[in-house]
Amino acid sequence: MSKPQDPKPAKLVVGCFTKEKDILGNVAGRLSGSFGPPDVVSPWLAFEHTDYYTPELGAPLFRRLMAFSRLIQQEALADVKLFTNELETQFSKQGKRLVNIDPGCLLAERFVLATGKNHAHRIYLGKGIYADLTLIYRKGRFRPLDWTYPDYAGEAIIGFLESVRDRYVHQVRQSGG
């Protein structure tokens, strides 16, 4: 029989993409106000795998990821997504978002994004939010799955997330977890 046990806390990773790089400082400030300062920030990455967001956000789009130093409880991911949805609304102009904000939980064995869209591989978390298993850690690195978004399957993001994973593993060890 499996016995219930408390899950380990997760590293909060938030990806943002926008055409207007200058607003990201304000977005990052709002995120830091709620989740503490980021301890790792990616360089700007080109966002070029889809035109889906172009009508709303414009082009070219650029992505930046932030991993926050304070760990969160995994069950908080739905609330984090609701908060980032509200931020997207606040950073809108004439009904169009200026930034897309995607929070996720990184653990030693996986990376999960939060979304409001249901699909066969997504698990309902509550409050209208689903968990999208995006990457799994196997054989010494993060591996994409059939449904992984193309940018998250790319070397730039996987490399960044692997460095965040190293930091996370060290953090959990230091805390006795």
pLDDT at 9: 97
137 versus 47: which is more confidently predicted? Answer: 137
pLDDT in tens, 1-51: 999 999 999 999 999 999 999 999 999 999 999 999 999 999 999 887 788
- 162 close to 107: Cβ distance less than 8 angstroms: no
Looking at residues 58-66, what average pLDDT do you find?
A: 94
How far apart CA 111 and CA 46 sit, in angstroms, is 21
Question: What is the per-residue pLDDT for 10?
Answer: 98
Domain residue spans in the chain?
Answer: 11-174
Please tell me the pTM assigned to this model: 0.95
Cα–Cα distance for residue pair 88/77, rounded to 1 Å: 16
DSSP state of 42: P
Q: Output the pLDDT for position 46.
A: 86
Q: Tens digit of pLDDT for each residue in 72-111?
A: 999 999 999 999 999 999 999 999 999 999 999 999 999 9
User: Rounded to an integer, what distance in angstroms lies between the CA atom of residue 98 and that of residue 35?
Assistant: 21
Q: Does residue 177 register a pLDDT over 70? A: no
Query: What DSSP character marks residue 142?
Result: E
Distance CA(102)–CA(65), nearest Å, equals 9
Report the C-alpha gap between 68 and 63 in whole angstroms.
16
